[in-house]
Amino acid sequence: MSTHGEIRKVTTHRLQEMKQAGEKIAMLTAYDFTMARLIDKAGIDVILVGDSASNIMAGHETTLPITLDQMIYHAASVIRGVQRALVVVDLPFGSYQGNSKEALNSAIRIMKETGAHAVKMEGGSEIEESVRRILSAGIPVMGHLGLTPQSIYKFGTYTVRAREEKEAAKLRADAALLEELGCFSIVLEKVPAALGREVAQSLHIPVIGIGAGSGVDGQVLVTHDMLGINHEFRPRFLRQYLQLHELMTHAFQQYIQDVKTGQFPSTSEQY
Ligand code: KIV
């Protein structure tokens, strides 16, 4: 809150100040209005409308199938629930890799049709031209290095990236390039903690980790994972703050039983 009681919105500039002050940045995903409103009111700094919606919302095995129109639908729903957080939207697979003009059009559609504040893009030097073009239109870009799920068929697995020096060197160079181009932040996914710390210390922009250790400038988790809705997904980096799978299953079973036995609705639950 400001001194006048208005909400002080989180901006890319504010994230920069947080890095300089050594204040950690908290980021979570949301794909819909209700969840976004809850997370925003809890005081989150950044909400990511991740293309993980492809897995979590649509049940796909990878993030590749989600379309730009579908991301726009999710992002517009999220924005309606947010008053304070910075909202970043993933550019989906196929909307920016091939051609920088198409990349700019995709980013412009996201900004115009959703009211979001920034876009996120996976990759380093391979997408330099697209990043440059989007930034030149005044659209803030968050980078994403390390495990980049849109390239899962190139990697073959979701294991930790950049354990080998050659890949770590490329990641360091890509991180420096993204900062030099003008990205306001970078997500670093599933890399050794020592590398995460080194990259965060070498850059002026905030580095937000997921499975990148404690030495980075902030953390991001997929909300449904940290709530324990999908109880089969238990990677080492994930802390589950609730076991919602069990709680929700129990509530559904209780409801079914109450309906079947006639215990719901009671006399006080009818007109
Ligand atoms: O799509 C997503 O949820 C992400 C996070 C895992 C960083 O990119």
For residue 27, the ligand 1 atom closest to its alpha carbon is: 7
pLDDT score, position 2: 58
The rounded Å distance from CA 249 to ligand 1 centre is: 26
pLDDT score, position 17: 98
Residue whose CA is closest, atom 2 of ligand 1?
50
Q: In this structure, what token pair is assigned to residue 74?
A: 């999710």
Cα(51)–Cα(120) distance, integer angstroms: 10
Domain boundaries, the chain: 12-240, 243-271
Cα(11)–Cα(89) distance, integer angstroms: 14
pTM beyond 0.85, yes or no: yes
The rounded Å distance from CA 192 to ligand 1 centre is: 18
Tens of pLDDT, residue by residue, the chain (271 residues): 555 778 899 999 999 999 999 999 999 999 999 999 999 999 999 999 999 999 999 999 999 999 999 999 999 999 999 999 999 999 999 999 989 999 999 999 999 999 999 999 999 999 999 999 999 999 999 999 999 999 999 999 999 999 999 999 999 999 999 999 999 999 999 999 999 999 999 999 999 999 999 999 999 999 999 999 988 899 999 999 999 999 999 999 999 999 999 999 999 999 9
For residue 51, the ligand 1 atom closest to its alpha carbon is: 1
Which is catalytic among the residues 122, 179, 189, 198? 189
| Nearest residue to 82 via CA among 170, 2, 7 | 7
Architecture of the domain whose range is 12-240: Alpha-Beta Barrel (3.20)
For residue 189, indicate whether it is catalytic: yes
pLDDT score, position 1: 58
| Nearest residue to 191 via CA among 212, 169, 171 | 212
Q: What is the 3-state secondary structure (H, E, C) of 99-146?
A: CHHHHHHHHHHHHHHHCCCEEEEECCHHHHHHHHHHHHCCCCEEEEEE
pLDDT score, position 98: 86
The rounded Å distance from CA 90 to ligand 1 centre is: 8
Helix (H) or strand (E) holding 188: strand 185-189
For residue 122, the ligand 1 atom closest to its alpha carbon is: 8
Q: Which residues of 246-258 are buried (b: 16+ CB within 10 A; e: fewer)?
A: eeeeeeeeeeeee
Q: In this structure, what token pair is assigned to residue 85?
A: 């957080």
Ligand 1 pocket test, pick from 27, 88, 210 with the greatest ligand atom count within 8 Å of Cβ, gives: 210
